[in-house]
Every structure is written in C-alpha cells, then in structure tokens.
Structure 1
Amino acid sequence: MNSYRVIIIGSGFGGQCAAMKLKKLGIEDFVILERRPFMGGTWCQNTYPGAAVDVQSPLYSIAAEPYPWSQMFAEQAELQQYTNHVIDKNGLRQKTRTSTNVESTHWDEGKQQWVVHTSQGEFSGQFLINASGPLSTPMTPNFPGRDSFKGKSFHTNNWDWDYDYRNKRVAIIGSGASAAQAIPAMVNDVAELHVFQRTPHWVLPRPDRKFSKFEQTLLGIKPLYKLLRSLIYWQLETRVVGFKYSQKLLNVFAQKKAERFIKQQITAPALQAALTPDYTIGCKRIILSSTLYPVLDQSHVQVHTKEDGIAAITDTGITTTQGQQLDVDLIVYATGYQATDGVISYPVTGRNGQTIAQAWEEFPRAYLGTALPGFPNLFIMTGPNTGIGHTSAIFIIEAQLEYIAKAIQSVMKTDSKSIEVTEEAEADYTGMIHSEMDRTVWKAGGCTSWYQSKSGHVIAMFPGFSFTYRRLAKTFKPGHHSLVQDAPRVNPAGADSLA
C-alpha cells in the first residue's frame, strides 16, 4: 500500500491550492490522485465551444500566482495555460498519479488513517483532502428513449472534438451558463439549432475587453496586480447587499437592466416573453453574455420552452410534448452537474461504518463546508455552502485552506493522530447558515435551482459576504474540535460562539 501524510483527491484549483498550502507548511509527504489522464480539473476538462470564465480573470486566479491575462474574462484555452503554469511552477506533476480513479475510501480507526481504494491500487494517509469539486460529475437527464438515439450525443463536460457539427442539425438541452457560451459559438456553423429551455435565466451584458500589451506588462507588476484584484473584489462584493439584504436594490440596479437588455436585443414579442424569467434576478445563476440574445433571434434557431419540452428521445431525434418530431444529428447536453447531493461521487465511510451518504441523508452539511463529525482528518474543498454567487470561487478555496492548515497543524503540534469537529459545533454552524439563507434571494427569490438539494435546502451557496467566510475560516476554534492521541481520547470543552 502507498502511504502518505496527506492524500489529495482532484487536481483542479482546489487540489493545486491544497498542495501549495502543504508545501508552504513544509509538508512534502503528499500525493494528488487524479481520475483523468491529465491534470487541471475544470478548465482542462471543459473544452466546449465558447467556454470561458464568468469572473474577471485577475480575481479568478490564485493570489500567489499572478498572470498577464490577455482579456478581462479569460477563455478556456488561456485558463488551461494558466492551470498548467501553476502546476509546473509548483512541481505538482511529480506529486500526482493520473488515471487513478477513486472507487471508495474508509477510515481505519485502529490505525487512525484513511484508506483510499482506487483503480490503481490502495493508498493510505493520515489526512484526506477531497478536492474533486462540485462541478465535476456531469448530470444527464434520463429522458425516455435516450439510449435509442442513433446520432451523436455528449455532455458539454465531455465535448467530442472528433465530431464535426458544421452544417448539422443540432439540439442543445439546457439554457444555463455552458449553453449560453456554446450557442453563440456554434450557431453560424450549424444548419438548424434547437434550444430546449426548462426555465429562462436572467442575462446581463458581459463587460469584457482585451488587454493591450502594455496593460499585460502592468499585470506582471505584483503591486499593480494586487491593486486591480482588490478593486474588482470590492466592486463584486457589493452585490451581496442585493442578494441578501435588499431585493429592492437588486430590482433597481440589476433586474430592470436585464429587462431592458432583453427588449434591446430581441425583436419578437413572443420570444421576449419566452426568455423573460418570472423570478427575482439572482435566484438562479445570472448569465453574462453580450452575444446570446441576438443568435436566439435568428431564423434557423428555435427556442423550446417547458410548454414545448422533451417528451422522448427517438432514434432520429426528439419528440416534443406538443407532438412535434425533430430529426437532429447531434444532441448536446448542457445540463449541469451533481453539485449538491452528489458533491462527492465515491463512497466515503467514516467511524463506526457511517457513510457520508447516511450523514447527508437529510441534506449535505459540514462545519465551514469542510469538516464533518464522525469523519476524522477529512476535509472537503468547496463542500456544502461554500459556493459564491458574486465573486471568485478561488477566494473561498484559499480561505478554506486557512482552516484546513490550522486543523492539520493542531494535530501535528500536539502529537495527536486525528482531529474531528464536534457534533455541537457542526449543528450550530449549519443552523446559522440556513437561518441566514432564509434572507437571501437564493431561498426567497421564487425559483428552483441547482443551488438547492432535493430537500429544498440551498446547499451550493454561502449566505453572506466572502470576507465573512474568510474570517470564520481563519479563526480556528479548538473548542469546536476533539483530538485523538494514542490514548486516551481527548474531548475539549464544547463549542463556543460562531461569531
């Protein structure tokens, strides 16, 4: 068995940041397990036409790794270059086992370590960091007859570039972020395009721009890069006021703008109506696109709403609920990911044989979205309620790692074997999260979204400012945890305030 101090599962930004943090702590005894034959996560896997980030690139980057971006919102190819730059600069390829799919993992109480079962054998480690990410397991609806289709079909997450979609009849199922990027990129190359929209999204213009060579040079100067990041960060952080504290402000400054944008971009009244949501802006993910609406108005494009949705998939195409048979050559599933209930795709068994699936039977939950009682030395990157709807996810990842680093250090400094959050601390934290969530547009905005688990709880988002989460993560509370030494088990005083 391959034995390490720390095992990291996933080599995307979460895994990279975790590895860099361990190195900074002087911990070199770790391994990264990656199921794919290549490293990099989201931006190396998602290569669909038009793929790009929807947060400004200078902020959507690792704080310690500035980069001379070519445009404000980087496209997939440049994000992949950046990812590989970070990997190579920090020597992470040598620490990674690719094509190593995690099949299950369990806590060995006697040895106080995690045992990870993979397609390439077993690994053991004192600490386990899951960085597989919430947007890594594609979700493909099981429509009647789905497997009977004789044309080509794939999810945007697994784009088949060997297939030439030019002059083909194409159906795109979904109208979220990936669909909104793929549609404008494909539309002029296809013969027909059918877009199946379950519910419309609010769309705002994308304030993108190319950086000049001089500006790129300035981005290479760390103090200036840091200043730009700070300006973007605080500008985006003001959105929380609308998302949580004042839906009236959200209506005035965002929804009215989005309503005007539809009318400016779409000429047909019926299409305007079909593309106008009936919920508060922000309840679902806001789409940033200056190119989507005009292409949906083209003559060879047809938008199918839920009233004219998919009844079945046939061997030649799609039968709609209105009885129309659409023969197509390609079906693209832009249907998102198992981002809430399926945030960890492999079985995880903790103390006393309890699985995470059992612990999350009601709904996924974790202290700081990171640690669970009954699962010692396990840390979940971008776990429940760590998503952020207004700023960079990497900011939250880096904040999480402050907590993880202090938890690991507390074990090492006390010669302990494991650390575990108490049930009381996790329950108090989860109660606080969902009490605060009731005030947000994600809960009260009148929509059903992928932010919610099957329970109806909003699981994907953190209900507040990102700097609030960072403060909570940086303030390590020993009283919220128990340590296990060789013997006996040590249980410090109960949880104190989360404030």
Structure 2
Amino acid sequence: MSVAASPVHHDVVVIGTGFAGLAMAVALERDGHDDFLVLERAASVGGTWRDNRYPGCGCDVPTPLYSFSFAPKPDWSHLYARQPEIRAYMEETADRFGVTRHVRFGADVASLTWEEADQRWRIGLHGGDELTARVVVGGFGGLTEPNWPSFEGLDEFEGTLVHTAAWDDDLDLTGRRVAVIGTGASAIQLVPEVAPVAERVTVFQRTPPWIAPKLDREIGAREARLYRRVPAAQRAVRGTVFGLTEFLALQLTKRPALLAGLERVSRRMLRSQVPDPALRAKLAPDYRMGCKRILFSNAWYPAIARDDVDLVTAGIARVTAKGVVDGEGVEHPADVLVCGTGFGVADVFSRMTVTGRDGVTLTEAWRDGMEAHRGTSVAGFPNLLLLSGPNTGTGSTSQVFMIESQVHYVSEALRTMRERDVATIEVTPEAQRAWNDDLQERMQGTVWIVGGCNSWYLDEHGRNRTLYPGLAAEFRRETRTFRPEEHVVELHRAAPAAV
C-alpha cells in the first residue's frame, strides 16, 4: 500500500509577480532568506503590466517614481513609460536580482488553508498540487480580474467582444466599427489610438472624468547618459516628482478646496480642444476633481472631437447581436465591443478561497467590508501578510512607493519572527479595529467622500476601502516599524515524542 508523499514545504511563499511580488522577493533575497518560493499563475512575470496590453496602454505616473527605488533605470524612453517598456523593466529586474529562479510559473492558487496543529498554511493549486508554507505573502493586488459588465444581451453579441484587461493581441481594428464602454483610465488611452484606424468609434460614457494635461516628453540619449553617470541627478528628479505628487495628495486628502486651481486648468484644456459647446457640456464633470480618479491625457479630448467618433451619454439599455442600444432606444452598430470597465477588486478571491482560524474564510471576515491592519494583516489569519491590501491605494502618487513601504514592514515582521524564534504572528482584533476606525475618521474629510461623486473607490456601504487617506510619506512612517505588541505571538510547539 503506497503512502502519499507530503507536500513540499517552504518557509515563505509569495503569491504573484507584479511589482508587489517582485519587490518582496528581492527583499527576501537581500535579507538572506533561502527557503522561499514565488507562485505565478502565468508563464512570465509582470502582473497587471503583463496582462494589460491594449493599444495605448501606459503609466500615468512619471517613471522616475513609478519604478523600484533599488533599481533605477536611466534610459526610459519617455517620462511616462508605455506598457511594453514597463513589462520589460520588470522582467529585467527579476533576472538581475535573482528572483526568477525562485518563481514557479503556471501555479494558479486555488486555496489557502491555515493548519492550526502544524502552524502553517496549506496551499492548493488549480490542477490539484499542494504545498505548505509557514508564512504566505499575498502580492496579487486588486487589478487582476477584469470587471465584465452585466448588460442584457451581452452574450448574444455576434461581433468581437474584448476587455481592455484581457486584450487579444491578434485583434485588428482597422476599418471596423468599434464600440467602447467606459471612459476610465484604459479608455482614454485606447480611444485616441483606435480612432485613426477604425471606421467609426462609439464611446458610451456614464460619468465624464476630469482630464489633466499629461506633461510627457521623450528622454533623450544625453539625459540618459547623465542619469547613468550621475545617479544623484535621477534621484533628484524622483524627489521632485514625489514632492509634486505629495502636494496633490495634500489636496485630495486634507484640502479638497485647493483642487479648484487644477480644475481651472482642466476646463481651459477642454475649451481649447473641443470647439463644439454641446459636446463640451457632455464632457464637463459636475463633481469635485479627484473624487474619481484624475486622468492625464493630451489626446482624449481631440479624439472625442473627431467627426468619426460619437459620444453617447444616454446610458445602455441592452446589447444586441449587431450592436448596442442606448437608453433612448437608438441602436449603435458595432463590429467590435470593447469593455473598458475596470477591475473586479473583490473578484480576486473568486478563484482563491482563503480560510483562517476556526474555518472562517477571508470573504466571511470581510462580509461588512474589506479591512486590514496597516493594510497588511487581518485578525484570524496568522502569518498571512498582504501587499497592496485594503486602503493602501493612492489617488496621487506611485503605487510602487506604497508597495515598498509595505515590503519593508513585512521584512521587519519576518526579522522579528526570526530573531525571537516565533512561529506565528497575528494582529489582534483590537489593534485592527483601532487602526481602521482612525483611518475611516480621517477619510471623512477627503475628496473621495465630500467630492460629490459615486466612484468604485466606495463599497456598498459608502466606505472607501481602497485608498489611503493621507500622504505617502505618512504611510511610510506608519509602516516603518513592526510592533509585536499589536499582535498575538506564538512560539513553536514542541514536536510529539517519537514512540
């Protein structure tokens, strides 16, 4: 009679190879952790920058800041990098810092189950494989699962249906009638690329976004040489960009009235780029800038003003085999239907069941809303540390900066466990409650609450569980030190004596 082999065990398992997973893996390598594994469901690293590759896809934070502090890149082609270059940077960073050898590709996590007796996590993969780990670091983020709309008739559309977060690289839009649902961050990059080649583009807008000028430019060979020879020059640019984004964060989180100045800049751009007053009225937001994500583009308004682009603001009644019927009953024919409808933040756990102490799942623990202590740990889920967790997002600066702050915090937690020979750490419910009560109190004065809009930042209870209500520098201070007194700490249990 054969005995099933025990699952392979690792001290630390990291899930995901986006910016979060890569940063964590580099930190583990730097700190001398030999026994760690990174699980990646795809065949290459890159996370959201691997999966999002629609025409025009790029970053809306300047690359000197939207990059790892420990891996500056002197020769970015533009101040705002495009998706292929960001993905290549992530692949190069993984190879350069020895991360790739720790990655198991094609490993799609189906379940995490806490095993109390063994003080470890059992990790189940889609396909049936299992492994175990003392500590799990979740670097899967919230921008991974496409949010498909639920319009009547969507499954009856006979043309090509595609989501910006799951783009078909073989899709040719030349000479085709393209309908785009949504006017968020993806759509404002996609439409200016598609409009010149498509026969006609129809854009369905629910709420007009605030658009600010994108101060992009090429980074020439001379500037790249300067950064390579004098790294302090690039660090100075990074510091300047960070200071500007922190001033924006101040306005968003503490002084929303100051956003009036940037609103005037946006309105001037709208007037100068869209001559038709009726179209301008459709594109003018009626809420405070920043309440929804601020979008940066010099090409959006000119694209919408083209004669072969239609902006529909009457809503969507249903989708038919041949197109989209708006709220006024007008059918708009389409060969291709593009859903630029963002991500299902809560859908991250639709493919992964996380079960902590006493059989409680993370979905059950979050039934009244997602929350974590310092955006990283959740009561009832020992040795599970989240990166880009609840309320760690930012409406102003680089998410990579926030990730590096959390990675430092997790590294401090692991160091404490190692130095004190600790088996498990688990945030106390009292510490988690105090942190989130304070966070939500600070949230009340932010533009996301008082700005007069209904955004995806807010959950069904009207609470912002997505963004951090302060400056990025404040978050870094709050994650600088791991505090054992905020946690229940357990030592290793003695193994049973051999019989």
- Shorter-chain TM range is over 0.9
Runs (4 or more) in structure 1 with deviation over 3 Å come to: 341-345
Aligned residue number for residue 163 of structure 2 = 155
Counterpart of 1:227 in structure 2 is 236
Matches for 1:477-496 after TM superposition, within 5 Å = 477-487=483-493
**Matched length:** 484
Does 1:217 pair with 2:215? no
Q: Give per-residue Cα distances to partners, 1:171-206, cap 9 Å, x unaligned.
A: 011100000000001110000101011111000110
CA distance in 1, matches of 2:296, 2:436: 31
98, 106, 110: which is aligned to 2:113? 106
> CA offsets per residue over residues 143-180 of structure 1, 9 Å max, x none?
11111111101111111121211000000111000000
Q: Which residue of 1 is the match for residue 304 of structure 2?
A: 296
Deviates further, 203-212 or 474-483: 474-483
**For residue 233 of structure 2, what is the amino acid of its counterpart?**
L
Does the CA-based 8 Å contact 2:254-2:470 persist in structure 1?
no
Q: Which residue of 2 is the match for residue 75 of structure 1?
A: 82
Cα distance change, pair 387–343 in 1 and its aligned pair in 2 (3 A): farther
* Aligned mates of 1:244, 1:289 — CA distance in 2: 23
The answer as to 2:143 corresponding to 1:135 is yes
Contact 1:151/1:329 (8 A) holds in 2: yes
Task: Report the residue type matching 1:196 in the other structure.
Answer: F
- Decide which moves more: 341-350 or 201-210: 341-350
Give the counterpart letter for 1:397 in structure 2.
I
Matched, 1:46 2:52: yes
Task: Answer yes or no: is the 8 Å Cα contact 1:69–1:219 preserved in 2.
Answer: no
Deviation, structure 1 residue 59: 0.6
Does residue 445 (structure 1) correspond to residue 476 (structure 2)? The answer is: no
Question: What is the distance in 2 between the residues matched to 1:347 and 1:276?
Answer: 42
| More moved, 242-251 vs 81-90 | 242-251
Q: 1:312 aligns with which of 315, 318, 322?
A: 318
The residue type paired with residue 420 of structure 1 is E
Match of 2:361 in 1: 355
Instruction: Tell me what 1:475 maps to.
Output: 481
1:81-120 paired onto structure 2 within 5 Å: 81-120=88-127
Q: TM-score, normalised by structure 1?
A: 0.95
TM-score calculated relative to the size of structure 2: 0.95
How far, CA to CA, are the matches of 2:88 and 2:439 in structure 1? Answer: 36
Distance 1:354 1:310, change over 3 A: same
Question: Does residue 1:372 correspond to 2:378, yes or no?
Answer: yes
Q: Aligned partners of 2:356 and 2:226: how far apart in 1?
A: 49
Point out where structure 2 has 5 or more consecutive residues left out of the alignment: 1-6, 495-499
Q: Letter of the aligned partner of 1:232 in structure 2?
A: V
Distance 1:326 1:225 in 2: 49
Counterpart mapping for 1:261-410 below 5 A: 261-305=269-313, 308-339=314-345, 341-345=346-350, 346-410=352-416
Give the letter aligned to residue 311 of structure 2: V
- State the distance in 2 between where 1:372 and 1:181 align: 36
- In 2, the alpha carbon distance for the partners of 1:243 and 1:347 equals 35
CA distance in structure 2 between the aligned counterparts of 1:348 and 1:257, rounded to whole angstroms: 46
Segments of structure 1 that go 5 or more residues without pairing to the other structure are: 489-499
- Once the two structures are TM-superposed, the CA of residue 486 in structure 1 deviates from its matched residue by 3.0
Specify which of 464, 467, 475 is matched with residue 461 of structure 1.
467
Query: Once the 2 structures are TM-superposed, how far is the Cα of residue 219 of structure 1 from its aligned partner?
Result: 2.1
Preserved CA contact (<8 Å) 1:236 1:391? yes
Indicate if the aligned counterparts of 1:343 and 1:383 stay in contact, CA closer than 8 A: no
Q: Which of 212, 215, 235 does residue 204 from structure 1 map onto? A: 212
Matched residue, 2:250: 241
Quick one: distance in 2 between partners of 1:242 and 1:287?
Answer: 16
Letter in 2 for 1:406: E
Which residue of the partner structure matches residue 175 of structure 1? 183
Q: Give me the whole-angstrom Cα distance separating, in 2, the residues matched to 1:442 and 1:471.
A: 23
Q: Alignment partner of 1:157: what SS?
A: coil
In 1, the alpha carbon distance for the partners of 2:404 and 2:169 equals 34
After TM superposition, give the deviation of residue 32 of structure 1 in Å.
Answer: 1.0
- Does the aligned pair in 1 maintain the 2:249–2:397 contact within 8 Å? no
Distance of 2:82 and 2:428 partners within structure 1: 43
State the Cα deviation string for residues 286-336 of structure 1 (Å, max 9, x = none).
11000110110111111111xx12111111111111111122110011000
Structure 1 residue 245, shift from structure 2 partner: 2.2
Q: Distance in 2 between matches of 1:109 and 1:319?
A: 54
Alignment-mate amino acid for residue 240 of structure 1:
A
CA–CA distance in structure 1, aligned partners of residues 90 and 156 of structure 2: 38
User: In the alignment, residue 404 of structure 1 is paired with which amino acid?
Assistant: V
SS of the aligned residue for 1:479 comes to helix
C-alpha deviation, 1:487, in angstroms:
4.9
Give the whole-Å Cα distance in 2 for the aligned partners of 1:248 and 1:314. Answer: 44
Matched with 2:63 is 57
Q: 1:163 is matched by which residue type in structure 2?
A: L
The equivalent residue for 1:495 is none
% identical aligned pairs: 36
Q: Per-residue CA shift, 1:374-421, capped at 9, x if unaligned? A: 000001110000001111100100000111111112212121211011
Between the aligned partners of 2:298 and 2:114, the Cα distance in structure 1 is: 49
Matches within 5 A, 1:16-27: 16-27=22-33
Paired amino acid for 2:344: Q
- Summarize deviations over 1:34-65 as a string: whole Å, max 9, x none: 11122211112111000010000011000000
